[in-house]
């Protein structure tokens, strides 16, 4: 299996920074960003996706002043919410609705999230329902994390009261969805910590803190750094200055259990954004410190049995990126594709989007336990195994074309090749659950 990149599409000709992207559907997304070439105004654009081709709509201004710390989340197939620091209004954390019709965005009125957070630090946002979201930010007066519920009616946002979330100063927060009344936040405080927040109406309740690492990581601009893989399984990305980490967490009620932790330090990597492909597969875009190239890269990861995460090792370069690597984002499209947006320093710092695809046409499928495995190379055509090669036999022969690789189906009777096994082969219609694509 390989990763392939579609044709990059420029959505902003001026210099961009602080990008965030969210999918509205498998064929459409919204990107929000700071237009550094136009007085740091906050802008957003629709990205339509056909196969691996991206088409960009005309950018719309959602904040006609200096903008910083941008994050965006979809609420429905026609509506997204953007949050940001409004440098033109006392640096308050602020939110606005982005209504989408075709390739046109109509921004709603801006709503101040916290008027006590003058010179507020970055703000992140996550969907609860189609009419409700939650924002989390740092109030610089005391350095603590705060959160509030954002109720949506049409294009109007009504923020609830701010709730303090941490007992001490915190930073580098990320957020991941769980369900309509719970989210997971991860952040630096005494160490790298995680906590489930419970939401009832406009009230937010904190719960027991889980220590992910003993020391703060203090390295990441944690946008799109958490994804819900399954009903109770979350994958989050955390970073030091030169070392990215993936943490596989299971959630039971409000209790967090660490299932696996994976360091991404070969080559040195940091500041990742995640995209869900399936319950067992995730895409990651991250900054690579492999001097002197310093590139934004993409890779995929496999989650096995809900207890382990492993790197597929299919890294591809996207574009040369400068050292402030908060300037890219990712979102899922399908089980085999995700969308990456980034500032292309190789092309005048333009805002650019590209589709990343997992190419399974020449994949290898492993089935079995431990070191015992059958290995096949694909593709094949029709009911004829074609050029599929049996490398090792355990007594079963399995062929199929399910790109998500959850169930493989035998489409025709196929005897074992000479010298590998004996018997009548496997009947048409036999199915088997797969364990891994590589």
pLDDT single digits (tens) 163-215: 999 999 998 888 999 999 999 999 989 888 999 999 999 999 999 999 998 87
Alpha carbon distance 158, 135 (integer Å): 12
Residue keyed to tokens 């190789």: 346
Instruction: Give yes or no for residue 291 having a pLDDT over 90.
Output: no
With residues binned 3-state (H G I as helix, E B as strand, rest as coil), the percentages for the chain, rounded to 5, are 0, 60, 40
CA distances from residue 302 to 156, 251, 365, 408 in whole angstroms, order as listed: 40, 19, 13, 17
pTM for the structure as a whole: 0.82
CB 92 within 8 Å of CB 117? yes
**What's the start-to-end Cα distance of the chain, in Å?**
6
Alpha carbon distance 41, 35 (integer Å): 5
Q: Which residue has the higher pLDDT, 297 or 179?
A: 179
Check residue 161 and give its pLDDT: 96
| Tokens at 345, concatenated | 């320093």
Instruction: Give yes or no for residue 60 having a pLDDT over 90.
Output: yes
Check residue 36 and give its pLDDT: 92
Q: Which residue has the higher pLDDT, 378 or 246?
A: 246
Who contacts 162 (Cβ-Cβ below 8 Å, separation ≥6)? 113, 114, 116, 117, 139, 146, 147, 148
Mean pLDDT of the chain: 78
In this structure, what is the dihedral angle of CA atoms 210, 215, 217, 218, given to the nearest 10 degrees?
A: 110
Length of the chain: 438
Check residue 256 and give its pLDDT: 97
Domains of the chain: 2-359 (2.130.10.10), 360-438 (no CATH)
Alpha carbon distance 397, 4 (integer Å): 29
- Comparing 31-35, 92-96, 116-120, 206-210, which segment has the lowest mean pLDDT? 116-120
Check residue 316 and give its pLDDT: 67
Mean pLDDT of 65-93: 95
CA distances from residue 347 to 13, 111, 319, 356, 373 in whole angstroms, order as listed: 9, 35, 9, 19, 46
Characterise 211 by phi-psi region: left (phi > 0), alpha (psi -120 to 50), beta (else).
Answer: beta
Kind of pairing, strands 132-138 and 123-129? antiparallel
Alpha carbon distance 426, 438 (integer Å): 24
Check residue 269 and give its pLDDT: 58
Local structure of 345: helix, strand or coil: helix
Local structure of 347: helix, strand or coil: helix
Q: DSSP letter at 346?
A: G
Alpha carbon distance 286, 281 (integer Å): 16
Give Cα 50 to chain centroid, integer Å: 20
Q: Give the bridge partners for 105, in sequence order.
A: 100
- Comparing 197-211, 333-347, 421-435, which segment has the lowest mean pLDDT? 421-435
What band does 298 get if pLDDT is binned at 50, 70 and 90? confident
Instruction: Give yes or no for residue 268 having a pLDDT over 90.
Output: no
Question: Which of 144, 178, 176, 177 has the alpha carbon at shortest distance from 163?
Answer: 144
């Amino acid at each position: 299996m390989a990763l392939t990149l579609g044709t990059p599409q420029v959505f902003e000709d001026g210099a961009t920074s602080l990008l965030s992207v969210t999918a509205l559907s498998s064929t459409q997304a919204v990107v929000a960003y700071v237009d550094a070439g136009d007085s740091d105004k906050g802008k957003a654009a629709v990205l339509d996706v056909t196969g691996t081709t991206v088409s960009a709509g005309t950018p719309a201004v959602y904040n006609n002043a200096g903008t910083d710390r941008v994050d965006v989340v979809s609420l429905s197939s026609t509506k997204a919410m953007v949050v940001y620091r409004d440098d033109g209004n006392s640096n308050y954390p602020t939110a606005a609705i982005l209504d989408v019709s075709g390739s046109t965005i109509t921004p709603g009125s801006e709503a101040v999230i916290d008027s006590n957070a003058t010179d507020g630090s970055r703000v992140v946002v996550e969907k609860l329902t189609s009419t409700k979201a939650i924002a989390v930010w740092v109030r610089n007066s005391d350095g603590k994390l705060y959160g509030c519920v954002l109720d949506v009616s049409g294009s109007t946002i009504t923020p609830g009261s701010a709730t303090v979330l941490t007992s001490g100063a915190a930073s580098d927060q990320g957020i991941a969805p769980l369900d309509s009344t719970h989210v997971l936040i991860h952040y630096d405080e005494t160490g790298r910590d995680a906590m489930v927040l419970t939401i009832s109406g406009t009230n937010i309740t904190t719960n027991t803190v889980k220590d992910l690492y003993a020391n703060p990581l203090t390295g990441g601009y944690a946008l799109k750094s958490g994804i819900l893989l399954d009903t109770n399984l979350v994958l989050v990305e955390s970073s030091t200055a030169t070392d990215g980490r993936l943490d596989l967490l299971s959630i039971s009620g409000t209790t967090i259990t660490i299932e696996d932790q994976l360091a991404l330090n070969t080559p040195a990597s940091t500041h990742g954004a995640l995209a869900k492909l399936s319950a067992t597969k995730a895409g990651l875009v991250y900054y690579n410190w492999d001097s002197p190239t310093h590139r934004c890269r993409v890779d995929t990861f496999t989650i096995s049995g809900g207890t382990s995460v492993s790197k597929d090792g299919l890294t591809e370069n996207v574009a040369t990126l400068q050292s402030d690597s908060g300037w890219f984002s990712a979102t899922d499209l399908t089980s085999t594709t995700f969308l990456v947006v980034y500032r292309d320093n190789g092309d005048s710092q333009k805002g650019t989007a590209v589709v990343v695809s997992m190419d399974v046409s020449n994949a290898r499928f492993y089935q079995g336990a431990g070191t015992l495995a059958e290995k096949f190379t694909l593709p094949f055509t029709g009911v004829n195994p074609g050029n599929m090669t049996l490398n090792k036999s355990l007594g079963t022969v399995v062929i199929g074309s399910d790109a998500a690789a959850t169930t493989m189906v035998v489409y025709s009777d196929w005897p074992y090749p000479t010298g590998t096994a004996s018997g009548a082969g496997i009947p048409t219609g036999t199915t088997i659950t797969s364990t891994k694509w590589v």
